[in-house]
Amino acid sequence: MMSLRSMLRYTRAQHSTNHAVLCSAAIVSVAVFLVAGWTLGKSFQRFSTTEHDAQQSTSLVLSEAALARRAPSNSIHHPYVDNSTPANTAKARYDGLVEQIQQLLTSPPLRRTRFGLVVYSLDRDTTLFSRGAQELLVPASLTKLYYTAAAYATMGPTYPVRTVLATDGAIHNGTLTGNLYIIGHGDCLLTVSELEVLAEKLRALGVRRVRGSIIADASYFDPITDRQEYSGDAERMENLPLITALGLEGNRITVLISRAAGNRARVQTFPAGSGISVQWSAIPSLPSPKMRRPSRKRQRYGDLLVMRQKPRRSRRTAAIQPVRVTSTLTDGGVQRIHVLGMPRTQSSVSVTVTMLNPPLVVAGAFERCLTASGIAFDGRVTTGATPSTVTELAAWERPISALVEQCNKNSDNFIAEHVMKILGAYCCGNTQCNVHAYRTVAQLLDTIGVPSDGCVLYDGSGLSRRNRVTVTSLIGLLRYSARQPWGEQFFNSLAVAGQEGTLLRRMRRTPAENNLRAKTGTHRNVSGLAGIVRSTDGERLLFAALWNGNSVGFYKSLENSLGELLAGFGGESLPTTDSPIR
């Protein structure tokens, strides 16, 4: 028998063995479980990765299919491929231009303004922007564009405006026996020096004496010489000189009153001649009367306006004897200049008065030119019509383009009225020249297919507030002019931004400077700008803008912004050219 101690030792050993076996089995079981789990995890990971890739691939295909359904195949943009085309880029640029113009027109003052604006591409033959194109508006000086373009279209820019010297007699042994006729055809730029040239031409023919009358003939125009009268306006916008077929020095007389030592004054007139007489009187004992200073002309926004000067107060006024100059016509048609008072000692005063009988003033001035050329004159000076049997002796010619250039570039109202009457007389004779000139303009617009329904013009300068036009007719006229042989000469007659004319002080140091050419228009409640400009890539853009409202200064700034926007529009800059339309 085993002892108790041996049995205990055996039991302990058996227990240790069983424990070790159990631990080993547990460890093996855990290891097997871990290996199985690791194997299962790897298999699941491979399955999950494959499914994710399949889903991602399916999602990409669906996205591309959806994109293909939303847009045409040629408009799908891949992130690594530039699918833009020149056509799309150009369209975006023009859309941007339209958006910028629309932004200019959102200003509050335009809510109370009637206006029209059109921008037209001459190269693309398409309208880029249009608003209020058929609105009938007061054009102000944009009226001049209609008559100057019609004059070029009808007569041509080289048409000579002639001042003719003719006679109904004969020259024998240096003596011209018979009347001498000075026949005008509307040259409102005629000067005294040019009359002297005519006198020298007469002397070159061997004439040393004239036995007969000097007769001034201004019958080429109709007898209505006051713009306000033939336009039918109720108010006088500007005191223009008379519009006559024969005139001199702008139909104005300069009166110079000078005073040396003593109480005598010397009065001179320019021009001078037997058509003008002077009457002077001084009243030193009378106190200085309160006089309203005469009107003066100044440039406002580039266009010529008449402004009233306010009298200035001065301590020295009482010591200066005022000078008052008036004029009247005598029964014989001579203009008498009345001078009252005198200037200070060793000083002079210059005053301008309008001619009341320009043809007679021309005849009187030509008489003095004959005398200065050594030709004796035995006769009288008068006005009248020229018979059909006369013989032309000499002539002074000026192309109508010279009148058109000054008319458009400087917005000269006096010249504009003469261009209108020249056009009317050329087409229909010397009756109602303004009416026939407008009919010629209307016929031209109708012939070239430009709508002009409701448009009407009563004068040539645009001073009349009864005139009505549309920006559609303006753009149509500019488009037609640009495609004519005389188009370049016509656009060269317009003011140039920042350089000359009524745009001299506008759009300086911008892309529009020395680029944009346009005609300006201004009344106290009207502003306008119409012309041509080149974009930075050389595209020729025509534009016409008219505003009728009470914010003229704002309209001018808007026109400047528009001109700068159009001149800066485009891509790469191209070499500039002197031609505005070629």
What one-character-per-residue DSSP string does 206-217 give?
A: T--EEES-EEEE
Range of weakest confidence among 92-96, 116-120, 404-408, 546-550: 92-96
How confident is residue 347, by pLDDT bands cut at 50, 70 and 90? confident
Helix or strand run (H / E) with residue 190: none
Distance CA 167, CA 182 (A): 9
Distance CA 82, CA 68 (A): 17
**Predicted confidence (pLDDT) at residue 49 exceeds the cutoff of 60:** no
List C-alpha distances in Å: 493 to 82, 408, 551.
47, 6, 28
Per-residue pLDDT, 519 = 98
**Predicted confidence (pLDDT) at residue 323 exceeds the cutoff of 50:** yes
- Name every residue whose Cβ is closer than 8 Å to that of residue 450 and which is 6 or more positions away in sequence: 472, 473, 476, 477, 480
How confident is residue 321, by pLDDT bands cut at 50, 70 and 90? low
* Mean pLDDT confidence for 399-409: 98
Residue 346 identity: Q
Per-residue pLDDT, 565 = 96
**Predicted confidence (pLDDT) at residue 98 exceeds the cutoff of 60:** yes
Q: Which residue has the higher pLDDT, 418 or 285?
A: 418
How confident is residue 235, by pLDDT bands cut at 50, 70 and 90? confident
How confident is residue 574, by pLDDT bands cut at 50, 70 and 90? very low
Distance CA 273, CA 195 (A): 13
Q: Which residue has the higher pLDDT, 71 or 565?
A: 565
Sorted by where each begins, the domain ranges of the chain are 91-158+400-567, 160-225+359-398, 252-285+319-354
Backbone torsions φ then ψ of 79, nearest 5 degrees:
-60, -20
Per-residue pLDDT, 127 = 96
Distance CA 395, CA 409 (A): 27
CB neighbour class for 84 (10 Å; exposed up to 12, middle 13-18, buried from 19):
exposed
How confident is residue 237, by pLDDT bands cut at 50, 70 and 90? confident
> Which span out of 67-81, 319-333, 388-402 was modeled with the highest average pLDDT?
388-402
**Predicted confidence (pLDDT) at residue 300 exceeds the cutoff of 90:** no
Q: Which of 169, 247, 162 is nearest to 205 (CA)?
A: 169
Q: Which residue has the higher pLDDT, 425 or 75?
A: 425
Range of weakest confidence among 85-99, 327-341, 350-364: 85-99
* Mean pLDDT confidence for 390-414: 97
Q: Which CATH number fits domain 91-158+400-567: 3.40.710.10, 3.30.420.40, 3.30.70.340, 2.40.160.20?
A: 3.40.710.10
* Mean pLDDT confidence for 5-28: 48
List C-alpha distances in Å: 375 to 211, 212, 571.
11, 13, 67
Over residues 429-467, the pLDDT tens digits come to 989 999 999 999 999 999 999 999 999 999 999 999 999
Other CB atoms within 10 Å distance of the CB of residue 355: 24
Distance CA 579, CA 492 (A): 8
Q: Which residue has the higher pLDDT, 475 or 67?
A: 475
How confident is residue 282, by pLDDT bands cut at 50, 70 and 90? confident
**Predicted confidence (pLDDT) at residue 287 exceeds the cutoff of 80:** no
Percentage of the chain lying above the pLDDT 70 cut: 76
**Predicted confidence (pLDDT) at residue 55 exceeds the cutoff of 70:** no
* Mean pLDDT confidence for 222-246: 93
* Mean pLDDT confidence for 380-400: 97
Per-residue pLDDT, 81 = 34
Per-residue pLDDT, 101 = 96
Q: Which residue has the higher pLDDT, 283 or 377?
A: 377
Q: What DSSP line would sit under 273-327, residue for residue?
A: STTEEEEEE--TTSPPP--PPPEEEEEETTEEEEEEPPPPP-TTGGGS---EEEE
Q: Which CATH number fits domain 160-225+359-398: 3.50.80.20, 3.30.479.10, 3.50.50.100, 3.40.50.720?
A: 3.50.80.20
* Mean pLDDT confidence for 529-544: 96
Q: Which of 394, 405, 440 is nearest to 421 (CA)?
A: 440
Per-residue pLDDT, 62 = 30
Q: Which of 313, 309, 355 is nearest to 334 (CA)?
A: 355
Number of residues in the chain: 582
**Predicted confidence (pLDDT) at residue 173 exceeds the cutoff of 90:** yes
Helix (H, G, I), strand (E, B), or coil: what is residue 488? helix
* Mean pLDDT confidence for 264-277: 92
* Mean pLDDT confidence for 352-375: 97
Note whether 337 and 356 are within 8 A (CB). no
Per-residue pLDDT, 345 = 82
Long-range contacts of 85-94 (CB under 8 A, 24+ apart): 93/569, 93/570, 93/571, 94/128
Other CB atoms within 10 Å distance of the CB of residue 577: 10
How confident is residue 273, by pLDDT bands cut at 50, 70 and 90? very high
List C-alpha distances in Å: 297 to 235, 260, 412.
18, 30, 12
For strand 276-281 and strand 295-300, is the pairing parallel, antiparallel, or unpaired?
unpaired
